[in-house]
Amino acid sequence: MDLYSNPLNHFCQNLAIENKETCVDFPVIVTAIFGAFVVFGGVMGYVKAASKASLIAGSITGGLLLLSAFLIARGITAGAVLGIVVSLLLIGQFGPSLLKKFKIMPNLLVVVLGIITVGTLLFSFFK
């Protein structure tokens, strides 16, 4: 079976990292990295500031982004929609605080990674 004939790997024709018989597309990688970063940021917020809210929010939103990456890898359109919605929510949360107080961690990184994720998902969604 040809790698590109698999309907689950419909993005592999243009933006892909190929490894023998597997194909992981770029939107999956970007969304998974953003999700892992958000989970890590929630854990670091808990460790540094004993913020349970940071741990809970980071775990939920990061977990949803990781779920989104999994669904996108399976070719399920709802995964892209979920990733876009969660990324926009994170941008909406961290964007105003970035404008008030310019902090690289976590504000700038969440906003930049969120914009990259939304752009990648929108591009792949409408392709």
pLDDT at 19: 47
pLDDT at 105: 85
- Full-model pTM: 0.82
pLDDT at 124: 87
Separation of alpha carbons 85 and 35, rounded Å:
13
pLDDT 10s digits, 94-118: 999 999 988 888 899 999 999 999 9
Mean pLDDT of 5-27: 55
CA 124 to mean position of chain CA atoms: 13
pLDDT at 127: 76
Question: In the predicted model, is pLDDT for residue 17 greater than 80?
Answer: no
Winning range, highest mean pLDDT, from 33-37, 99-103, 120-124: 33-37
pLDDT at 126: 83
Separation of alpha carbons 89 and 73, rounded Å:
22
pLDDT 10s digits, 44-94: 999 999 999 999 999 999 999 999 999 999 999 999 999 999 999 999 999
